[in-house]
Structure 1
Amino acid sequence: MDSTFSSYKIEDRSLIAFIKREIHNLAIQSGFTTHRAAETDIIVAELTSNLIKYAGGGEFLYRCCKDEKHKEIEIFCIDNGVGIDNVVKIMRDGYSTSNTLGEGLGAIKRLSNDFQMYSIKNWGTVQYIKIGEKADAGIVPAAPVFNHAVLSVNYPGENVCGDAYHIKYSEDGFKIFVGDGLGHGVNAHDAVQMAIKVFERSTSSDAGTILKEMHEGVKKTRGLVATVAVVDYKAQTWNICGIGNINTRIYRGLENKTYTPYNGIIGLNVPRTISSTIVPYLKHQIIIMHSDGLRTRWNLNDMMSIIKQSPGVIAASLYKDNLRGTDDATILVGKIN
């Protein structure tokens, strides 16, 4: 699946018609019926109109995900507006704060396969929408024990992303890779994609060893920074190691720990000795990994009830408050069920 979102800053109505046409064409190209594409048009129209009307503008992100079984469009709608006091109440059909019919959010909820909203007074609002090719397709089940979401955006003006992620599952556990090619653009993209190929081939269960293999395998590229996290179901452990500035934290309730990576550049120069950090793998943990396209001075505990939200909403909320805007940006959020 393509992991990169297209992003548009909406400050007035001038972009709305363009975005509607882009997503409509994307839906048709992805195999949506004409009727389902028309329903997608309604969702996009309501989201963008509300963004202007109630928040004075914001950011609209979308992508198409497709494989042999599923075709869907994902949307994040993010603003720094006044926020919403009662999300449950405002999503009911007929509720309005502006003397209209009050059917907008209800329509979005009915027509989408998944609609989530998180809002705090005077902070703003994050909305997540998933639109499947069939209205009654439901939500695609997440992995049995690891429910995750990734929000990845190109550096402004670039057509490819120099960040990437990959998750590899097995009977024994799973492995996560998050990497950032040096700089941005095609050369950064090539470096991180080469690293993913090494990651896929590796049979090691030690994150540090995988990074060493990666270092040897990407020497002809520009180089990258990356963190690998390996879960062993039998040992009930995380095995984590990083080189360069990929920020990695694990939360469990109010407790959290940041895992400091080694200095270096994979493919150019890495420490002679690399040791992984072993920590317990527990239910209800939240792992967050992101590139330096986002600032690192954040704390989930500062946002009301955020740990109860889905990984996608958590990722978008952190993206909203911490995007630098000077590089590609990728954030992965995973929850252990």
Structure 2
Amino acid sequence: MDNNVHLLLNVADRSYFSIIKKEVHTLTLHAGFSAKRTGEIDIIVAELVSNLVKHGGGGQVMVKVNEANGKTYLELIGIDAGMGMADVSRMMVDGVSTKNTLGQGMGAMKRLSDVFQVYSVRDWGTVTVIRVFKEEPLYFDPVTTTQIRSVIIPKPGERACGDGFFQKSTTDCISLFLGDGLGHGPEAQKAVTQAGEVFMKCHEKEPTSIIRHINASVKKTRGLVGTVASLDLNERIWRICGIGNIQTRIFDGWELKGYMAYNGIIGLNVPNTLKSHEMPFENGQVLIMCSDGIKTRWDISRYPTIMRYDLTMLCATLIKDFARNTDDTSVVACKINL
């Protein structure tokens, strides 16, 4: 299950430094990180926030504690809309600076991180993805294996989030569920959390059956919209069924193929007739799901090299350019190689 919401922290100027450092420091301590690892994270946060102000004119930091293969890690995402960098590799070399500083910030962050990726385009800005593991240094999933990533943030100014993402796997099926509780705040969070718990316990593999099972179980909540996508590993077929305005598209390297969900609200009114949409699976495909916190006219062809990065970079980039900033926001990306 991956329903960890990112904490969204705005960075307008240097006055935010101590607030952000305190928030991240507290998060790592609660997660049980050692004093040494916490100290290293403090340095990373200081350098990341400093770069956002100096080079990006401010920006945003998203942070969460997550788990992969039984290993706990802290994930930091930095986003700015500054001038960007023409040569990211050069800027990571110690001593190279465009602001008359010592030029050691990027190199320090890279050395202290277990995963450090930077995507930057001139006159567009920069997105940085950093992971620090709780225990021994460990690289994240190799690009040859399954990647299932999500970036979920609450409506600006709120802590409770009505968006939620859940995943489960068996020997012959991988199932994903992205839900969005009606409205936002604690009641929306309650609806999507209950739906996610039902999804995780449901033994059905067919998305239509899963949707109906969730629908019957969340009738006492305010309701939600949601989409289930299941990959049959034996038949190599995606089966997708959704209710409401969750965007679901599959990118095959050349074009995006979309799925049209049914009208309705899970928990209130689901059509009597549901049918899963089937799409053939191919290695290298990327399935992308977004809540309505993302504008509908996004296009990943604007980012020609983005698929070389961890899929968290794609999620964060779509949020950077297409978030409405008036609701909870979530982007999920899944890439599977069999």
TM range (shorter): over 0.9
Aligned-residue CA RMSD (Å): 1.7
Aligned residue number for residue 190 of structure 1: 190
Aligned residue number for residue 324 of structure 2: 324
Aligned partner of residue 271 in structure 1, secondary structure:
coil
1: CA distance, partners of 2:302 / 2:158: 33
TM-score of the pair, normalised by structure 1: 0.95
1:132 Cα offset (Å): 1.5
Aligned residue number for residue 163 of structure 1: 163
Residue 141 (1) aligns with residue 141 (2): yes
1:153–1:161 contact (8 Å) kept in structure 2: yes
Aligned residue number for residue 106 of structure 1: 107
2:149–2:334 contact (8 Å) kept in structure 1: yes
1:66 Cα offset (Å): 5.0
Residue 3 (1) aligns with residue 4 (2): yes
Unaligned regions of 5+ residues in structure 2, if any? none
1: CA distance, partners of 2:319 / 2:60: 11
Residue 226 (1) aligns with residue 226 (2): yes
Aligned partner of residue 6 in structure 2, secondary structure:
strand
Residue 31 (1) aligns with residue 23 (2): no
1:144 Cα offset (Å): 7.6
1:2–1:65 contact (8 Å) kept in structure 2: no
1:2–1:64 contact (8 Å) kept in structure 2: no
Cα gap change, 1:304 to 1:121, in 2 (>3 Å): farther
2: CA distance, partners of 1:288 / 1:334: 7
1: CA distance, partners of 2:283 / 2:68: 30
1:67 Cα offset (Å): 8.2
Cα gap change, 1:133 to 1:198, in 2 (>3 Å): closer
Aligned partner of residue 298 in structure 1, secondary structure:
coil
Aligned residue number for residue 57 of structure 1: 58
2:217–2:267 contact (8 Å) kept in structure 1: yes
2: CA distance, partners of 1:46 / 1:330: 27
Q: Deviations over 1:76-113 (max 9, x none)?
A: 00000111101111112222222322111000000011
1: CA distance, partners of 2:302 / 2:40: 37
1:187 Cα offset (Å): 1.2
1:273 Cα offset (Å): 0.7
Write out aligned runs for 1:67-146 (5 A).
69-134=70-135, 136-141=136-141, 145-146=145-146
2:7–2:159 contact (8 Å) kept in structure 1: no
Cα gap change, 1:142 to 1:170, in 2 (>3 Å): farther
1: CA distance, partners of 2:311 / 2:141: 14
Aligned partner of residue 4 in structure 1, secondary structure:
coil
1: CA distance, partners of 2:145 / 2:14: 42
1:60–1:77 contact (8 Å) kept in structure 2: yes
1:142 Cα offset (Å): 6.7
Amino acid at match of 1:292: D
1:166 Cα offset (Å): 0.6
Count of aligned residue pairs for this structure pair: 336
TM-score of the pair, normalised by structure 2: 0.95
2:173–2:205 contact (8 Å) kept in structure 1: no
1:242 Cα offset (Å): 0.5
Aligned residue number for residue 296 of structure 2: 296
Aligned partner of residue 184 in structure 1, secondary structure:
coil
Aligned partner of residue 61 in structure 2, secondary structure:
strand
